[in-house]
Structure 1
Amino acid sequence: MRILRAAGYRVMPWKNGGGTTTEIAVSPDGAGLDDFDWRISMARVESGGPFSSFAGIDRTLSVLTGEGIVLDIAGRPPARLTTVSAPLAFPGDVPTSAGLIGGPITDLNVMTRRGRMAHKVERRPLSGEIRVAPRADTTLVLAVNAGIAVFTHDASDLGPLDTLVLDQDGPELRLEPKGPGLLFVIELHRLAANR
């Protein structure tokens, strides 16, 4: 188990140059936009427009702050995504554009390389004790809008936007929120052919 502090995240330009993204974690360490197995990031979206295209990548998007976004993903009806919506999965290599509902948003973006990795994103409200059992190859836990006390053999605290990284088959964790907010649990699975 390790904790990634929000102050240490890397800020970098979007692939299409239209803004910046805050990279929470990437695998392998130091991988660029064209050679990662998986990547977790947050982006501040100030205006509508086209999404960057990522060949061979599956993505899941969640809204963390702001009124929301409407995604126009080729071949699908428009999808309205807000802070109370379930995370939305879509291919990163189909034409996609976005319109803001009412001003800037911050989103959470999870990407995995198709055929090599798969992912699942779960959004949970921070209300009462939460237990997380890491069963994926890698599990990340992101706290939004509030901190969390993590009870293990040694108690630790997560601040808002800090991330807990858990290895497969580690002990079940007991988490206690320090206020209202959200928790995102991201499971990353390496596909059998790539083990």
Structure 2
Amino acid sequence: MRILRAADYKVMPWKNGGGTTTEIAVSPDGAGLDDFDWRISMAKVETSGPFSSFAGIDRTLSVLEGEGIVLDIAGQPPAPLTTASPPLAFPGDVPTGAALIGGPITDLNVMTRRGRVAHKVERRALSGEIRIVPRADTTLILAVDAGFTLITDDAPDLAPLDTLILDRDSPELRLQPKGQGLLFVIELHRLAANH
């Protein structure tokens, strides 16, 4: 089990130069935009416009703050995405445009390399004790708007936007929220290599 503190995240420019992204975690460690297996990041989107294209990448987007965004993904009807919406999965290599609903937003972006890693993003209300059983090769837990305490012997606290990383062998976790907010549980499954 590892705790990543929000203050330590890396801020970098978007691939298309249109803004900045805050990288929470990437695998392998230190991988760039062209050679990661998976990447979790947050971005502040301040203007409407096209998304960067990522060949061979599957993406899931969630809105963390702001009024929301409407995604225009090639071949699909426009998809409004707000803080109340479930995470939206789409291919990172199809033309995608975004229109802000009412001012800047911050989003959570999960990207995995197709054929190597699959992912699932679950959005839960952060209220009352929450139990999480790690079932994936890697599970990341990110709380928004409120932190939480891990109910363990040393009971570490996580502030809003800190991230907990668990592997498949981690024991069941019990989380005690410190206020109301959202909890994102990101499961990453390594796929067997095709020979």
When normalised by structure 2's length, the TM-score is 0.98
> 2:182 maps to which residue?
182
Separation in 1, partners of 2:98, 2:152: 41
> 2:46 maps to which residue?
46
Shift of 1:192: 1.9
> 1:141 maps to which residue?
141
Separation in 1, partners of 2:137, 2:47: 36
Shift of 1:122: 0.2
Separation in 2, partners of 1:143, 1:189: 21
Shift of 1:156: 0.7
Residue 31 of structure 1 aligns with an amino acid whose one-letter code is: A
> 2:152 maps to which residue?
152
Separation in 1, partners of 2:137, 2:186: 11
> 2:167 maps to which residue?
167
Residue 173 of structure 2 aligns with an amino acid whose one-letter code is: L
Q: Deviations over 1:145-193 (max 9, x none)?
A: 0010011232111100000000113100000100010000000000022
Residue 128 of structure 1 aligns with an amino acid whose one-letter code is: G
Separation in 2, partners of 1:165, 1:33: 21
Q: How is 1:11-160 mapped onto 2 (pairs within 5 angstroms)?
A: 11-160=11-160
Which aligned segments of 4 or more residues in structure 1 are displaced greater than 6 angstroms?
none
Separation in 1, partners of 2:193, 2:151: 35
Separation in 2, partners of 1:133, 1:166: 10
Amino-acid identity (%):
85
Residue 38 of structure 1 aligns with an amino acid whose one-letter code is: W
Separation in 1, partners of 2:75, 2:156: 45
Separation in 1, partners of 2:157, 2:167: 18
Shift of 1:128: 0.3
Structure 1 alignment gaps of length 5 or more: none
> 1:6 maps to which residue?
6
Residue 102 of structure 2 aligns with an amino acid whose one-letter code is: G
Q: What is the aligned length?
A: 194
Separation in 1, partners of 2:75, 2:154: 49
Tell me the C-alpha RMSD between the 2 structures. Answer: 0.7
Structure 2 alignment gaps of length 5 or more: none
Residue 28 of structure 2 aligns with an amino acid whose one-letter code is: P
Stretch of structure 1 that moved more, 27-36 or 165-174: 165-174
Residue 53 of structure 1 aligns with an amino acid whose one-letter code is: S
Separation in 2, partners of 1:84, 1:39: 23
Separation in 2, partners of 1:169, 1:184: 20
Separation in 1, partners of 2:193, 2:153: 35
